[in-house]
A and B are shown apart, each in its own frame.
Chain A
């Protein structure tokens, strides 16, 4: 049970912002939202995570709604190398499931020239 819903595919023009949505309506108060991406069946790569506040790093920005039921990953200037499957994950924490991640099918982002 991945606990998140993402569109199966999106595309974006190179140089434009890519906005990838994710719904996580059953998220608990202490669960973080993580984003990973996977390029060409390589190991997934960590992008960003957040709890309540919006976050930004050198790769992307994460916007989390006030009710925390959805979020958006923003790649501000997409390049061809950003073509990948993007996974939105709610991090299960605590007890016997400490730190486990559950992956859904993700969103295939295709950046075109």
Chain B
């Protein structure tokens, strides 16, 4: 009963480095999402995937790319990290079309120095 699993939990990057945040869900959900949360702010949608094989931009997509590898996995890549991308990143999944709640992961705390 893992739900949504994110790795890593913590990461420190130097400016210009790249990395991929991993997310996997075991609930057979069709849709998956990446959000970021800055201090004192609500969550902002970066990218989402309504179903396997599709991805679309959210509110703040610049500087990020995503891959929906299969139905279970949705990764977020930072090609050239910037200090402005220091944030907590949350992955979530849901089934669209039915009014059920989202399930969120526990987050990845990323610091770019």
Contact = CB atoms under 8 A, between A and B. Distances in A.
Interface stretch (A10-18, A42-50, A63-71, A75-83): A42-50
Given A42-B107, A49-B101, A105 B88 contact: no
B45 A102 contact: yes
A101 to B, nearest CB: 6
Interface residues of B, number: 30
Contact of A99 (B90, B94, B107): B94
* Secondary structure class of chain A's binding surface, majority of residues: loop
B43 A103 contact: yes
A59 to B, nearest CB: 11
A105 B41 CA distance: 5
Interface residues of A, number: 25
Nearest to B58: A100
A99 B95 CA distance: 8
Contacts of B96: 93, 98-99
A42 B33 CA distance: 16
A51 B42 CA distance: 23
A104 B59 CA distance: 13
B102 interface: yes
Given A45-B104, A46-B103, A96 B56 contact: yes
B40 A44 contact: no
Given A43-B104, A43-B105, A49 B42 contact: no
B31 interface: yes
Given A99-B50, A100-B45, A106-B42, A44 B104 contact: yes
A65 B43 CA distance: 26
Interface of B: 4, 31, 33, 35, 37, 40-45, 48, 50, 56, 58-59, 88, 90, 92, 94, 96-97, 99, 101-107
User: Which 10 A/B pairs are nearest by Cβ-Cβ distance?
Assistant: A46-B101, A43-B104, A99-B96, A103-B42, A103-B43, A98-B96, A105-B42, A104-B42, A44-B104, A32-B99
Interface of A: 2, 32, 34, 36, 41-46, 49, 51, 87, 91, 93, 96, 98-106
